[in-house]
Structure 1
Amino acid sequence: MFEKLKKIFKNREEKEKHNYDLTFDNVAIPEVHVKSTESHEDADKENAPISYDNVAIPEVHIRNRKNK
């Protein structure tokens, strides 16, 4: 009986192990835009227009959890 339980738990542990490649899976890769933008040199820093062209928006993937 205990041998059967050991096999069940061993199989469960093997299924729960994940082999993540951390060099790529958890790295955020920024978006780089090489397009030149207008220069607003004459405007002062406080009233200068805000440009959102070069802002990288991260992609978020939310996975559904399985109900146990």
Structure 2
Amino acid sequence: MRYNYNFSFIFYVICILGLVIIQPVSAAADEPVDFLSDDFYEDEPADIEVNDPIEPFNRAMFQFNDK
């Protein structure tokens, strides 16, 4: 009898959790999401200049490898 009680309790808990989870999921699915209406979608990234301390070495290596 104890096994039947545990099974019933677990079954009811799963059913209640299922009902609690289904409502927000169905509510979220009702309204379409437009990702292109984001405020920052069309913003261009800022041009950032980064100082490369080993640029002369890189240029020398590329010249050496190209030969």
TM-score when normalising by structure 2: 0.34
When you count helix as a share of all residues, which structure comes out higher? 2
Structure index of larger Rg: 2
TM-score when normalising by structure 1: 0.34
Bigger relative contact order, structure 1 or 2 (CA pairs below 8 A, ≥6 apart)? 1
